[in-house]
A and B are shown apart, each in its own frame.
Chain A
Amino acid sequence: MQVDTGTDWMAPSVRLWRMRRAQIIAVGLVAALAAGVGAGVAGGAGLGVVSGVAVLVIAAVSGVFLHRKFRSWAYREREEDLLVSRGVLIRRVSVVPYGRMQFVEVTAGPMERWFKLATVQLHTAAAASNARIPGLERGEAARLRDRLAMLGEAKAAGL
């Protein structure tokens, strides 16, 4: 859903998808191997191959789902507020005014660091606001953090 007909919607880096793909391939291969060997020892080679392939198919399906989920992420900086749009099954769009921001958090887990990515999260006084943008390239994350912090200070409002 597009809230405005604005053109400056931005998406997370394509490296986020590469990271997710690497994760699903790694997990899928290990799980398929384990399932295949386990079932093979217990019920013969045929069963082993079937269960290994089944796990791989599940991994592939969730890969497709993860790709759609990755593509659903979008954010847009407007003059007064930040829009974050996400979700495939449940579509969500959050509007967070800069003046309501209490602080901006930039985090990068081990996997994200490996792929040179970071997650930017906005915190307001409302627990539900929770505007999170994952998979930003480091430069973009730093730019967004600085811009949000600056705008938050300029437009700050009390409770």
Chain B
Amino acid sequence: MTEPPGNPVTVPPGPNEQWHRLHPLSPLIQAGRLLAGLLSVLIITLAQNLHRGYQARIPDLILVVVLVIAAIVRWLVTRWRLDGSTLRIETGLLRRDSKQLPVTRIQAVDVVRPLLARVLGLAELRIRLAGSSDRADGRLAYLTEQQAASVRAMLLAAHYGLDPATPEPAEQAVSQLPAGRLVAASLLWGGLTFVALALVVAVVAALAPWHVFVGLLGSLLVYALGLATATWRRISSSFGFTVALSPDGIRIRRGLLGTVAETVPVRRIQAVSMVQPLLWRPFGWCSLRVDVAGHAGHDEGSRNLKKDLLPVGSTAEARYLAQLALGHEAPAPSKPPRSARVKAPLSYHFLAAGHDAEMAVAVTGRLTRTTVWMRLEKVQSVRYVQGPVQRRLGLASVYADAAGRRVHAVFRDRTAQEAEDLLRDLAALSRTARRGETHEAEVRRFPVEPGGGE
């Protein structure tokens, strides 16, 4: 490269200015994925029609041929081009669909590789734009893996106004999930439930008549099958879970058969919650997830995404990741007054909450302990709620709401006086936090600068 990094230049006319096709094997994968869904149906019909000879299979064959042809036509009419500041994707035979994705508005670039694509060395690129709906996302399915990586680097470089030839800076790996822990944690819940159920069945077998036992055994088997699929899905989707820092946010890689490299845009994180289920606590395990704001818009504002930052890990790991995602050290929570034990006897042992000038923390839960951290600049409203029992005891709860459904930090069962102070302080603090943060947040919370990886 000739230009020094960090120096904005216009894109030189070159191979980027031409229209590109997607990879020629794309229709195969697209048709293949559709066919996989149909396969079970096909097998059943095939098995039924086996004795009737080949004529009975003609409808199935026609269906397959139509799917393949549709995928090929789709590939033929799809083309994309990156010219300096815009990524254009055109597709559609009858209804032409032309997408313009301005690189300045790119929020994240995800790389998705389903199993079939992975076998063929291909990958799909998903370009997400800030402040628009899912339908506006750009999808390039499929490119070769190298091409996908280089287009991603090019888009990010263009987004930051760098020379498009700038290679993508190296990601900083932050944490990796050991396979053993994932499998153990996933099996723990399913396994224990199954053992408990099996015990019930065994007791019934000893006491009840034979036909009742056979019936129970059948439903136990069905339940076990469901449990096994759910556990398998959990393991295969979170396998090899790696968290890294990249220029477009916190980058998560995961997957056993098909892999996903997705990006959590740090600025849109509303709240981070750490969940410690009862069965995990003896091992010191927890999971960490973030609430990411949906797309800004009038009726879509409350649509939110929950994403795992850590499927299962130690609390120390979770706290470190939470601090990374929030860019601020968590304040220490304090317990509510003793009288709260009367109102919340089952959850008093966990209840705690606290805040400082920038962040609120709240702990709740009966069997599962949930800790929520929320930056005050994300607070949408503050609510004071006092029920009849609380009034009798001189208590009240304060909710700090962030964008989305049920995304809040609850200061549950504080004294009424403290709650009133909280209502006033949280409103004032979130106002100052909002003013200070809007401009700085972007810069301050990205440890990796583009162009730094050379």
Contact = CB atoms under 8 A, between A and B. Distances in A.
A154 interface: no
Given A3-B420, A95-B427, A157-B434, A129 B384 contact: no
A92 interface: yes
B385 interface: yes
A93 B406 CA distance: 18
Given A91-B386, A126-B407, A131-B381, A81 B427 contact: yes
A142 B154 CA distance: 51
A96 interface: yes
Contacts of A94: 381-384
Contact of A99 (B378, B396, B434): B434
Given A3-B424, A157-B434, A157-B438, A129 B385 contact: no
A91 B383 CA distance: 10
Contacts of A22: none
A126 B385 contact: no
B293 A159 contact: yes
Contact of A102 (B298, B430, B431): B298
Contacts of B434: 97, 99, 157
A124 B406 CA distance: 13
Interface string B414-437: 001000100110110011001000
B302 A127 contact: yes
Contact of B384 (A1, A97, A123): A1
Main SS class of interface, B: mixed
A159 B268 contact: yes
Given A126-B381, A129-B381, A103 B298 contact: yes
B243 to A, nearest CB: 23
Interface in A95-125: 95-97, 99-100, 102-103, 123-125
Given A125-B403, A159-B268, A159-B403, A100 B381 contact: yes
Contact of B406 (A3, A99, A127): A127
Contacts of B401: 124, 126, 128-129
B402 A95 contact: no
B405 interface: yes
B399 interface: yes
A68 B454 CA distance: 70
A2 to B, nearest CB: 9
B296 interface: yes
Given A95-B381, A127-B406, A129-B401, A1 B420 contact: yes
Which of B270, B293, B401, B406: most chain A CB closer than 10 A?
B401
A91 B378 CA distance: 25
Contacts of B388: 89-90
Interface residues of B, number: 38
Contacts of B378: 159
B301 A102 contact: yes
Given A81-B431, A92-B385, A125-B301, 9 more contacts: A3-B384, A90-B386, A90-B388, A93-B384, A95-B381, A124-B380, A126-B381, A131-B381, A159-B301
A97 B385 CA distance: 18
A126 B402 contact: yes
A157 to B, nearest CB: 5
B416 to A, nearest CB: 8
B293 A125 contact: yes
Interface of B: 268, 270, 293, 296, 298, 301-302, 378, 380-388, 391, 396, 399, 401-408, 416, 420, 423-424, 426-427, 430-431, 434, 438
A96 B383 CA distance: 9
Interface string A76-96: 000011000000011111111
Contacts of A103: 298
Which of B270, B383, B386, B387: most chain A CB closer than 10 A?
B383
A131 to B, nearest CB: 7
A158 interface: yes
A128 B416 CA distance: 21
Nearest to A97: B431
3 closest A-B pairs by beta carbon, nearest first, are: A125-B403, A126-B380, A125-B301
5 contacts: A91-B384, A93-B384, A94-B383, A126-B302, A129-B381
Which of A80, A90, A128: most chain B CB closer than 10 A?
A128
A131 B380 CA distance: 11
B381 A158 contact: no
A131 B401 CA distance: 12
Given A91-B391, A96-B381, A102-B298, A3 B404 contact: no
Contacts of B427: 80-81, 95, 97
Nearest to B408: A128
Given A89-B388, A127-B302, A127-B405, A95 B438 contact: no
A127 B298 contact: no
Interface string A30-60: 0000000000000000000000000000000
A4 interface: yes
B302 A95 contact: no
A125 B380 CA distance: 7
A152 to B, nearest CB: 12
